[in-house]
Structure 1
Amino acid sequence: MKSFAVLLCIFMCFSCDEIPVPKPKAFLSLDYPKAAYHKSLLELPFEFEKNKLAQLNVSKKNNTLEGIILRYPALKASVFINYKKVDNNLEKYISDARARTQKHLQVADEISERMYENDPQNLYGMFYDLKGNVASQSQFYVTDSTKHFISGALYFETKPNYDSILPAINYIQKDMMHLIESLRWK
Protein backbone atom coordinates (compact mmCIF):
# COMPACT_ATOMS: atom_id res chain seq x y z
CA MET A 1 0.00 0.00 0.00
CA LYS A 2 2.90 2.38 0.82
CA SER A 3 4.50 1.69 -2.53
CA PHE A 4 1.17 2.37 -4.25
CA ALA A 5 0.92 5.77 -2.51
CA VAL A 6 4.50 6.64 -3.48
CA LEU A 7 3.87 5.62 -7.09
CA LEU A 8 0.66 7.63 -7.14
CA CYS A 9 2.52 10.75 -5.90
CA ILE A 10 5.28 10.30 -8.47
CA PHE A 11 2.73 9.74 -11.22
CA MET A 12 0.82 12.89 -10.23
CA CYS A 13 3.99 14.99 -10.18
CA PHE A 14 5.07 13.95 -13.66
CA SER A 15 1.68 13.57 -15.30
CA CYS A 16 0.92 17.28 -15.56
CA ASP A 17 2.56 18.63 -18.68
CA GLU A 18 1.91 22.33 -18.15
CA ILE A 19 4.03 24.57 -20.35
CA PRO A 20 5.26 27.62 -18.43
CA VAL A 21 4.20 30.95 -19.94
CA PRO A 22 6.25 34.05 -19.11
CA LYS A 23 4.22 36.76 -17.45
CA PRO A 24 4.48 40.37 -18.62
CA LYS A 25 6.37 42.66 -16.27
CA ALA A 26 3.70 45.38 -16.57
CA PHE A 27 0.67 46.38 -18.58
CA LEU A 28 0.62 49.36 -20.93
CA SER A 29 -1.02 52.30 -19.22
CA LEU A 30 -2.68 54.81 -21.52
CA ASP A 31 -4.30 57.31 -19.20
CA TYR A 32 -4.81 60.60 -21.00
CA PRO A 33 -5.76 63.72 -19.09
CA LYS A 34 -9.38 64.83 -19.26
CA ALA A 35 -9.75 67.31 -22.09
CA ALA A 36 -9.97 70.94 -20.98
CA TYR A 37 -10.93 73.29 -23.81
CA HIS A 38 -10.37 77.00 -24.20
CA LYS A 39 -10.98 79.48 -27.01
CA SER A 40 -8.11 80.22 -29.39
CA LEU A 41 -7.03 83.83 -29.08
CA LEU A 42 -5.63 84.31 -32.56
CA GLU A 43 -6.44 86.87 -35.21
CA LEU A 44 -8.08 84.50 -37.66
CA PRO A 45 -11.22 84.68 -39.82
CA PHE A 46 -12.71 82.12 -37.44
CA GLU A 47 -12.49 81.07 -33.81
CA PHE A 48 -12.57 77.67 -32.15
CA GLU A 49 -11.84 75.87 -28.91
CA LYS A 50 -8.81 73.62 -28.53
CA ASN A 51 -7.60 71.20 -25.89
CA LYS A 52 -5.08 72.78 -23.49
CA LEU A 53 -2.88 69.72 -24.10
CA ALA A 54 -2.37 70.83 -27.72
CA GLN A 55 0.19 73.46 -28.69
CA LEU A 56 -1.00 75.90 -31.36
CA ASN A 57 1.28 77.10 -34.18
CA VAL A 58 0.17 79.39 -37.02
CA SER A 59 1.67 79.18 -40.51
CA LYS A 60 1.60 82.33 -42.66
CA LYS A 61 3.01 83.11 -46.07
CA ASN A 62 3.25 86.73 -47.26
CA ASN A 63 1.22 87.74 -44.20
CA THR A 64 -1.63 85.44 -45.34
CA LEU A 65 -2.87 82.59 -43.20
CA GLU A 66 -1.93 79.21 -44.68
CA GLY A 67 -2.70 76.94 -41.81
CA ILE A 68 -2.61 75.97 -38.18
CA ILE A 69 -0.82 73.08 -36.52
CA LEU A 70 -2.15 71.62 -33.28
CA ARG A 71 0.74 69.64 -31.79
CA TYR A 72 0.26 66.95 -29.15
CA PRO A 73 3.85 66.39 -27.94
CA ALA A 74 2.85 63.79 -25.33
CA LEU A 75 1.07 61.74 -28.02
CA LYS A 76 3.62 62.47 -30.77
CA ALA A 77 0.83 63.63 -33.05
CA SER A 78 -0.29 66.75 -34.91
CA VAL A 79 -3.48 67.99 -36.51
CA PHE A 80 -2.71 70.07 -39.60
CA ILE A 81 -5.46 72.57 -40.40
CA ASN A 82 -5.60 74.52 -43.68
CA TYR A 83 -7.70 77.61 -44.31
CA LYS A 84 -8.75 78.91 -47.72
CA LYS A 85 -11.02 81.74 -48.80
CA VAL A 86 -13.82 80.59 -51.07
CA ASP A 87 -14.06 82.46 -54.36
CA ASN A 88 -16.31 80.42 -56.66
CA ASN A 89 -14.00 77.42 -56.08
CA LEU A 90 -15.74 75.53 -53.28
CA GLU A 91 -16.28 72.40 -55.39
CA LYS A 92 -12.53 72.24 -56.13
CA TYR A 93 -11.67 72.50 -52.42
CA ILE A 94 -14.17 69.78 -51.50
CA SER A 95 -12.91 67.59 -54.34
CA ASP A 96 -9.29 68.08 -53.19
CA ALA A 97 -10.23 67.19 -49.59
CA ARG A 98 -11.97 64.01 -50.76
CA ALA A 99 -9.01 63.12 -53.00
CA ARG A 100 -6.59 63.45 -50.05
CA THR A 101 -8.74 61.00 -48.10
CA GLN A 102 -9.11 58.61 -51.05
CA LYS A 103 -5.29 58.41 -51.39
CA HIS A 104 -5.40 56.18 -48.31
CA LEU A 105 -7.96 53.81 -49.83
CA GLN A 106 -5.38 51.18 -50.88
CA VAL A 107 -3.97 50.87 -47.35
CA ALA A 108 -7.06 51.60 -45.24
CA ASP A 109 -9.18 48.75 -43.91
CA GLU A 110 -12.19 51.06 -43.85
CA ILE A 111 -13.05 54.71 -44.37
CA SER A 112 -16.22 55.92 -42.66
CA GLU A 113 -17.75 59.31 -43.39
CA ARG A 114 -19.76 61.43 -40.97
CA MET A 115 -21.59 64.40 -42.40
CA TYR A 116 -21.58 67.51 -40.23
CA GLU A 117 -24.25 70.20 -40.46
CA ASN A 118 -24.97 73.11 -38.14
CA ASP A 119 -27.38 75.52 -39.86
CA PRO A 120 -27.52 78.17 -37.09
CA GLN A 121 -23.71 78.52 -37.21
CA ASN A 122 -23.54 78.13 -41.01
CA LEU A 123 -21.21 75.10 -40.75
CA TYR A 124 -21.27 72.21 -43.20
CA GLY A 125 -18.69 69.51 -43.67
CA MET A 126 -17.50 65.94 -43.50
CA PHE A 127 -15.43 63.98 -40.98
CA TYR A 128 -13.49 60.93 -42.22
CA ASP A 129 -12.39 58.14 -39.88
CA LEU A 130 -9.73 55.96 -41.53
CA LYS A 131 -9.10 52.54 -40.01
CA GLY A 132 -5.92 50.57 -40.57
CA ASN A 133 -2.23 51.35 -40.91
CA VAL A 134 -2.70 54.59 -42.86
CA ALA A 135 -0.60 57.74 -42.66
CA SER A 136 -3.57 59.91 -41.56
CA GLN A 137 -6.24 58.34 -39.34
CA SER A 138 -8.71 61.25 -39.36
CA GLN A 139 -9.51 64.00 -41.82
CA PHE A 140 -12.22 66.62 -42.11
CA TYR A 141 -13.39 69.67 -43.97
CA VAL A 142 -15.80 72.41 -42.91
CA THR A 143 -17.19 75.36 -44.86
CA ASP A 144 -19.83 78.05 -44.74
CA SER A 145 -20.23 77.40 -48.51
CA THR A 146 -19.71 81.06 -49.45
CA LYS A 147 -16.53 82.55 -47.90
CA HIS A 148 -14.53 80.07 -45.82
CA PHE A 149 -13.12 76.55 -46.22
CA ILE A 150 -11.14 74.64 -43.56
CA SER A 151 -9.65 71.17 -43.89
CA GLY A 152 -7.70 69.16 -41.35
CA ALA A 153 -5.79 65.92 -41.00
CA LEU A 154 -4.31 63.96 -38.09
CA TYR A 155 -0.77 62.57 -38.40
CA PHE A 156 1.43 60.69 -35.94
CA GLU A 157 5.22 61.00 -35.78
CA THR A 158 5.64 57.25 -36.01
CA LYS A 159 5.14 54.39 -38.42
CA PRO A 160 1.40 53.68 -38.46
CA ASN A 161 0.44 50.70 -36.30
CA TYR A 162 -3.31 51.14 -35.90
CA ASP A 163 -3.80 48.87 -32.87
CA SER A 164 -1.03 50.58 -30.90
CA ILE A 165 -2.10 54.16 -31.55
CA LEU A 166 -5.89 53.58 -31.42
CA PRO A 167 -6.33 55.07 -27.90
CA ALA A 168 -4.48 58.23 -29.00
CA ILE A 169 -6.53 58.36 -32.22
CA ASN A 170 -9.78 58.22 -30.24
CA TYR A 171 -8.57 60.94 -27.85
CA ILE A 172 -7.55 63.33 -30.64
CA GLN A 173 -10.66 62.58 -32.73
CA LYS A 174 -12.78 63.85 -29.84
CA ASP A 175 -10.70 67.04 -29.87
CA MET A 176 -11.15 67.37 -33.63
CA MET A 177 -14.92 67.00 -33.32
CA HIS A 178 -14.96 69.57 -30.50
CA LEU A 179 -12.95 71.95 -32.69
CA ILE A 180 -15.53 71.56 -35.49
CA GLU A 181 -18.50 71.96 -33.15
CA SER A 182 -17.02 75.06 -31.48
CA LEU A 183 -15.97 76.69 -34.78
CA ARG A 184 -17.47 80.14 -35.42
CA TRP A 185 -16.91 82.35 -38.46
CA LYS A 186 -15.96 85.99 -37.87
Structure 2
Amino acid sequence: MRIFLIFFCIVFCSSCGDDVVVKPGAMLRLEYPMPTYKTVNMDCPFTFEINEHGLMQLKNNCWVNIDYPGMKATIYITYRSIKNNNLDSLLYDAQKLTYDHTIKADAIIEQPRVDSIHKVYGMFYMINGNAATQSQFYVTDSIRHFVTGSLYFESKPNFDSIYPAAVYLRNDIRNIMETISWKN
Protein backbone atom coordinates (compact mmCIF):
# COMPACT_ATOMS: atom_id res chain seq x y z
CA MET A 1 0.00 0.00 0.00
CA ARG A 2 2.87 2.37 0.75
CA ILE A 3 4.39 1.73 -2.63
CA PHE A 4 1.08 2.49 -4.30
CA LEU A 5 0.72 5.74 -2.34
CA ILE A 6 4.28 6.84 -3.20
CA PHE A 7 3.72 5.98 -6.88
CA PHE A 8 0.42 7.92 -6.89
CA CYS A 9 2.11 11.00 -5.32
CA ILE A 10 4.95 10.93 -7.87
CA VAL A 11 2.54 10.67 -10.80
CA PHE A 12 0.24 13.36 -9.37
CA CYS A 13 3.08 15.82 -8.75
CA SER A 14 4.81 15.22 -12.06
CA SER A 15 1.63 15.65 -14.08
CA CYS A 16 1.26 19.29 -13.12
CA GLY A 17 2.38 21.68 -15.80
CA ASP A 18 1.17 23.91 -18.59
CA ASP A 19 -2.24 23.31 -20.08
CA VAL A 20 -2.29 21.73 -23.52
CA VAL A 21 -3.43 24.22 -26.13
CA VAL A 22 -4.61 22.98 -29.50
CA LYS A 23 -3.17 25.17 -32.23
CA PRO A 24 -5.19 25.95 -35.35
CA GLY A 25 -4.12 24.36 -38.60
CA ALA A 26 -1.59 26.47 -40.47
CA MET A 27 -2.04 27.39 -44.10
CA LEU A 28 0.96 27.45 -46.39
CA ARG A 29 1.39 30.86 -47.96
CA LEU A 30 3.05 30.73 -51.34
CA GLU A 31 4.04 33.96 -52.97
CA TYR A 32 5.21 34.19 -56.54
CA PRO A 33 6.97 37.13 -58.20
CA MET A 34 4.94 39.59 -60.20
CA PRO A 35 5.08 38.46 -63.82
CA THR A 36 7.02 40.51 -66.31
CA TYR A 37 6.33 39.55 -69.90
CA LYS A 38 8.62 39.72 -72.90
CA THR A 39 7.98 38.98 -76.56
CA VAL A 40 9.57 35.82 -77.88
CA ASN A 41 10.90 36.07 -81.40
CA MET A 42 11.67 32.73 -82.95
CA ASP A 43 11.88 31.23 -86.40
CA CYS A 44 8.29 30.01 -86.28
CA PRO A 45 5.04 31.17 -87.90
CA PHE A 46 3.85 32.73 -84.63
CA THR A 47 5.10 34.81 -81.73
CA PHE A 48 3.83 35.51 -78.21
CA GLU A 49 4.85 36.90 -74.82
CA ILE A 50 6.14 34.75 -71.97
CA ASN A 51 6.81 35.39 -68.32
CA GLU A 52 10.48 36.24 -67.74
CA HIS A 53 10.49 33.75 -64.85
CA GLY A 54 9.85 30.91 -67.30
CA LEU A 55 12.65 29.20 -69.20
CA MET A 56 11.77 28.64 -72.84
CA GLN A 57 13.07 25.71 -74.87
CA LEU A 58 12.36 25.61 -78.60
CA LYS A 59 11.90 22.06 -79.89
CA ASN A 60 11.55 20.65 -83.40
CA ASN A 61 8.60 21.76 -85.53
CA CYS A 62 8.14 24.97 -83.48
CA TRP A 63 7.10 23.12 -80.36
CA VAL A 64 7.91 25.12 -77.21
CA ASN A 65 8.38 24.09 -73.58
CA ILE A 66 8.22 26.80 -70.93
CA ASP A 67 9.71 25.48 -67.69
CA TYR A 68 9.10 26.95 -64.25
CA PRO A 69 11.75 25.22 -62.11
CA GLY A 70 10.64 26.79 -58.81
CA MET A 71 7.15 25.35 -59.28
CA LYS A 72 8.28 22.16 -61.02
CA ALA A 73 5.85 22.89 -63.83
CA THR A 74 5.99 23.07 -67.61
CA ILE A 75 3.72 24.54 -70.24
CA TYR A 76 3.97 22.41 -73.39
CA ILE A 77 3.05 24.24 -76.60
CA THR A 78 2.66 22.43 -79.91
CA TYR A 79 2.24 23.89 -83.37
CA ARG A 80 0.49 22.29 -86.33
CA SER A 81 -0.13 23.78 -89.71
CA ILE A 82 -3.61 23.41 -91.14
CA LYS A 83 -3.47 21.35 -94.34
CA ASN A 84 -6.07 19.61 -96.48
CA ASN A 85 -8.98 20.86 -94.36
CA ASN A 86 -7.71 19.11 -91.21
CA LEU A 87 -8.96 21.84 -88.87
CA ASP A 88 -11.86 19.65 -87.71
CA SER A 89 -9.54 16.81 -86.73
CA LEU A 90 -7.15 19.20 -84.94
CA LEU A 91 -10.05 20.71 -82.98
CA TYR A 92 -11.40 17.26 -82.16
CA ASP A 93 -7.99 16.09 -80.89
CA ALA A 94 -7.51 19.21 -78.73
CA GLN A 95 -10.96 18.88 -77.19
CA LYS A 96 -10.64 15.12 -76.70
CA LEU A 97 -7.30 15.56 -74.94
CA THR A 98 -8.95 17.97 -72.52
CA TYR A 99 -12.03 15.89 -71.84
CA ASP A 100 -10.02 12.70 -71.32
CA HIS A 101 -9.29 14.19 -67.88
CA THR A 102 -12.94 14.11 -66.78
CA ILE A 103 -12.28 10.88 -64.88
CA LYS A 104 -10.20 12.72 -62.26
CA ALA A 105 -11.40 16.30 -62.78
CA ASP A 106 -13.96 17.89 -60.50
CA ALA A 107 -14.82 20.51 -63.12
CA ILE A 108 -13.68 21.71 -66.53
CA ILE A 109 -14.37 25.39 -67.12
CA GLU A 110 -14.25 26.69 -70.70
CA GLN A 111 -13.33 30.24 -71.65
CA PRO A 112 -13.53 31.04 -75.37
CA ARG A 113 -11.04 33.40 -77.00
CA VAL A 114 -12.23 35.43 -79.98
CA ASP A 115 -10.00 38.16 -81.40
CA SER A 116 -11.25 38.89 -84.91
CA ILE A 117 -8.85 41.82 -85.35
CA HIS A 118 -5.73 39.64 -84.96
CA LYS A 119 -7.51 36.48 -86.21
CA VAL A 120 -6.97 34.47 -83.03
CA TYR A 121 -9.74 32.08 -82.05
CA GLY A 122 -9.53 29.44 -79.38
CA MET A 123 -10.55 27.96 -76.07
CA PHE A 124 -8.97 27.97 -72.63
CA TYR A 125 -9.82 25.08 -70.30
CA MET A 126 -9.34 25.29 -66.54
CA ILE A 127 -9.33 21.75 -65.13
CA ASN A 128 -10.05 21.63 -61.41
CA GLY A 129 -9.37 18.52 -59.38
CA ASN A 130 -6.67 15.89 -59.21
CA ALA A 131 -6.28 15.57 -62.97
CA ALA A 132 -2.90 15.18 -64.63
CA THR A 133 -3.12 18.65 -66.18
CA GLN A 134 -4.59 21.81 -64.70
CA SER A 135 -5.02 23.82 -67.90
CA GLN A 136 -5.28 23.22 -71.63
CA PHE A 137 -5.78 25.61 -74.52
CA TYR A 138 -5.81 25.92 -78.26
CA VAL A 139 -5.71 28.89 -80.62
CA THR A 140 -6.00 29.07 -84.37
CA ASP A 141 -6.47 31.49 -87.22
CA SER A 142 -8.79 28.90 -88.85
CA ILE A 143 -6.80 28.99 -92.09
CA ARG A 144 -3.12 28.10 -91.63
CA HIS A 145 -2.08 27.85 -87.96
CA PHE A 146 -3.12 25.74 -84.97
CA VAL A 147 -1.41 25.94 -81.55
CA THR A 148 -2.27 23.83 -78.49
CA GLY A 149 -0.88 23.98 -74.98
CA SER A 150 -0.99 22.04 -71.73
CA LEU A 151 0.18 22.69 -68.20
CA TYR A 152 1.75 19.81 -66.27
CA PHE A 153 3.36 19.63 -62.85
CA GLU A 154 6.20 17.23 -62.03
CA SER A 155 4.33 15.77 -59.07
CA LYS A 156 1.40 13.56 -58.25
CA PRO A 157 -1.74 15.63 -58.86
CA ASN A 158 -3.05 17.09 -55.61
CA PHE A 159 -5.15 20.09 -56.56
CA ASP A 160 -5.20 21.59 -53.07
CA SER A 161 -1.40 21.69 -52.93
CA ILE A 162 -0.72 23.00 -56.43
CA TYR A 163 -3.66 25.41 -56.61
CA PRO A 164 -1.65 28.64 -56.03
CA ALA A 165 0.88 27.67 -58.69
CA ALA A 166 -1.89 26.58 -61.07
CA VAL A 167 -3.61 29.95 -60.75
CA TYR A 168 -0.33 31.80 -61.36
CA LEU A 169 0.43 29.72 -64.47
CA ARG A 170 -3.13 29.98 -65.77
CA ASN A 171 -2.57 33.73 -65.92
CA ASP A 172 0.60 33.12 -67.94
CA ILE A 173 -1.35 30.88 -70.34
CA ARG A 174 -4.02 33.55 -70.73
CA ASN A 175 -1.27 36.04 -71.56
CA ILE A 176 0.14 33.67 -74.19
CA MET A 177 -3.31 33.35 -75.76
CA GLU A 178 -3.89 37.11 -75.68
CA THR A 179 -0.51 38.03 -77.18
CA ILE A 180 -0.09 35.33 -79.81
CA SER A 181 0.19 36.71 -83.31
CA TRP A 182 0.67 35.01 -86.63
CA LYS A 183 3.51 35.74 -89.02
CA ASN A 184 2.75 35.88 -92.73
TM-score by length of structure 2 reads 0.85
CA contact (8 A) 2:44 2:62 kept: no
Counterparts of 1:27-176 in structure 2, within 5 Å, are: 28-60=28-60, 65-87=61-83, 88-176=85-173
In the alignment, the residues of structure 2 paired with residue 128 and residue 67 of structure 1 have an alpha-carbon distance, to the nearest angstrom, of 20
The Cα shift of 1:23 comes to 6.2
In the alignment, the residues of structure 2 paired with residue 131 and residue 23 of structure 1 have an alpha-carbon distance, to the nearest angstrom, of 27
1:12-56 CA-partner distances (Å, limit 9, x unpaired)? xxxxxx7631467x7523110000000002111001000000000
SS in 1 for 2:167: helix
The Cα shift of 1:66 comes to 4.8
Q: CA RMSD in A?
A: 1.5
1:138-179 CA-partner distances (Å, limit 9, x unpaired)? 000000000000000000000011011100000000000001
In the alignment, the residues of structure 2 paired with residue 89 and residue 19 of structure 1 have an alpha-carbon distance, to the nearest angstrom, of 68
CA contact (8 A) 2:114 2:120 kept: yes
Going from structure 1 to structure 2, the CA distance change for 1:103 and 1:41 (only over 3 Å counts) comes to same
The Cα shift of 1:67 comes to 1.1
Matched letter for residue 93 of structure 2: D
TM-score by length of structure 1 reads 0.84
Counterparts of 1:11-26 in structure 2, within 5 Å, are: 20-22=21-23
Which of 159, 167, 176 in structure 2 is aligned with 1:179?
176
- Runs of 4+, deviation exceeding 6 Å: none
Unaligned runs of 5+ in 1: 1-17
Matched letter for residue 44 of structure 1: C
